Amino acid sequence: EIQQNVYGMKVRLYGDVVYSDFPQLSVGVQHKRLQDSAVAYALGGADENGTDYYLAATKVHLGAAAGFNLVWNVTARATKANQLGLLGFGSQSDDNYDLMFEGSVGVLFNRHLAAGVEYRQKPDNLGLGEEDWWDVFITYIPSKSFNVTLAWAELGSIAGAPDQNGLYLSVGGQLW
């Protein structure tokens, strides 16, 4: 069993996702710490914790997709993470930051239903054939405090185990 804690902060630098002519720009940082580093070190990971830095651009285009709202996001992330940090950070031979790109695009059919695709590049620091991730999703948002997402995720090879693909279900909410 592999567990990690993730602490993050994101700050808007400029713009508004809907009302400004240009995308909203934000910068962020995520610090990740493994709770047990045995697997990461056994596979050649250099560290049990690491910090990602990123710049994100997000924009909503009203009525742009056959009359529906279109939302997109592009992110540049500086990272050392192996499998998002689940297998540690960096390696004995490569402990440098890599610049990775992420992107998503979705259609908001109404206030409660969205569908789209996501893509995320990942470095292969450990030489295990770490592949980029992608998914297609549909999200139901009945209220501001509750949502359900169903996705098909293609995660490729993870720690040498091929074809780590399948359904993903997320139920999220908040009390206030």
Average pLDDT of span 24-51: 94
Residues of the chain above pLDDT 70, percent? 100
| Confidence tier at 26 by pLDDT (50, 70, 90) | very high
Report d(CA 151, CA 41) in Å as an integer.
31
- State the pLDDT at residue 80: 97
Average pLDDT of span 120-144: 94
- pTM of the shown model: 0.88
- State the pLDDT at residue 175: 84
CA dihedral of residues 113, 55, 52, 165 (deg, nearest 10): 30
Average pLDDT of span 59-79: 96
Q: Is 79's pLDDT higher than 90?
A: yes
Q: Is 28's pLDDT higher than 90?
A: yes
Residues of the chain above pLDDT 90, percent? 84
- State the pLDDT at residue 176: 78
The pLDDT mean for the chain works out to 94
Residue reference for tokens 């509750």: 146
| Confidence tier at 17 by pLDDT (50, 70, 90) | very high
Q: Is 10's pLDDT higher than 80?
A: yes
Average pLDDT of span 81-107: 95
Report d(CA 117, CA 126) in Å as an integer.
27
> pLDDT (tens digit, 9 = 90+) per residue, 143-174?
989 999 999 999 998 877 889 999 999 999 98
Report d(CA 19, CA 24) in Å as an integer.
9
Cβ pair 56, 26 in contact under 8 A: yes
- State the pLDDT at residue 129: 86
Report d(CA 148, CA 168) in Å as an integer.
11
